[in-house]
Amino acid sequence: MRTKSYAVPAIDKPLEYYEFDRRELTDTDVELDVHYCGICHSDIHTARGDWGEVEYPCIPGHEIVGVVTRVGGNVTKFKPGDKVGVGCMVNSCGECEACKRGFENSCFKETIWTYSSKDPVDGTDTKGGYSTIMIAPEHFVLPLPSSLNMAVAAPLLCAGITTYSPLRHWKVGEGSKVAIIGLGGLGHMGVKYAKSFGAEVWVITSSPEKAEAAKSYGVDGVIPALTPWLATRDH
């Protein structure tokens, strides 16, 4: 399927318009019309080669929400018209101990990330959600409640789960005291989750503006952090 996208053409170049052909659906794949995609700092790290060499053009984006357009013959959980999301990974071996336990992100063989991984189906680079059409195996597609605002749901797919998971793992709730370091894309979600679980929540930040933002989210306190190195970082 002809797909429009924004791609990074080289390690030192900005995003630019790019068209490519998405591979065809397999029997277990879901195709979606991408409505929104969050921007995660991992997109920038990957595109800039911070985490190792990648092939260009690189099409980032792993906070993807959209509406199902087609499904493979063996797909049972989704049908055209469903609101869905795709997060950071789109495949894994499905057979190792990690996969069997639901830790596909730690697959002993290989986790296939949503972009800049090798797609086991056709051997090409996976291409993310800065694009109009997305294809992923049913197992890696998540249903979205139809009542959810799709635009604000997108960051749940990476920043959201990254903060939700540890808070749930440590059973944060009434009586818990949580400190969130930094009120960025992840931090502000951590604050919202922890507050909604009933915890006492403090934010540690070096930014007076973010201290104010934290208070607007109802945090119980802000601890100023003195980190002069932040002011000299280039990204």
- Contact residues for Zn ion, defined by CB under 5 A: 40, 42, 92-93, 96, 99, 107, 109, 158
Supply the minimum distance, in Å, between the C-beta of residue 159 and Zn ion. Answer: 6
- Kindly state the smallest distance separating residue 63's Cβ from Zn ion, in Å: 6
Q: Is the Cβ of residue 99 or residue 214 nearer to Zn ion in the bound state?
A: 99
Cβ closest to Zn ion, residue 92 vs residue 205: 92
DSSP the chain: -EEEEEEB-STTS--EEEEEEPPPP-TTEEEEEEEEE---HHHHHHHTTTTS---SSB-----EEEEEEEE-TT--S--TT-EEEE-SEEE--S-SHHHHTT-GGG-SS--EESSSSB-TTTSSBP--SSBSEEEEEGGGEEE--TTS-HHHHGGGGTHHHHHHHHHHHTT--TT-EEEEE--STTHHHHHHHHHHTT-EEEEEES-HHHHHHHHHTT-SEEEE---GGGGG---
Give the shortest CB-204-to-Zn ion separation in angstroms: 22
Report the residue number, 69 or 139, with the smaller CB distance to Zn ion.
139
Least distance to Zn ion from the beta carbon of 108, Å? 5
Residue 191 CB, nearest distance to Zn ion (Å)? 18
Q: Rank residues 71 and 99 by Cβ distance to Zn ion and give the closer one.
A: 99
Closer to Zn ion by CB, 44 or 223: give it.
44
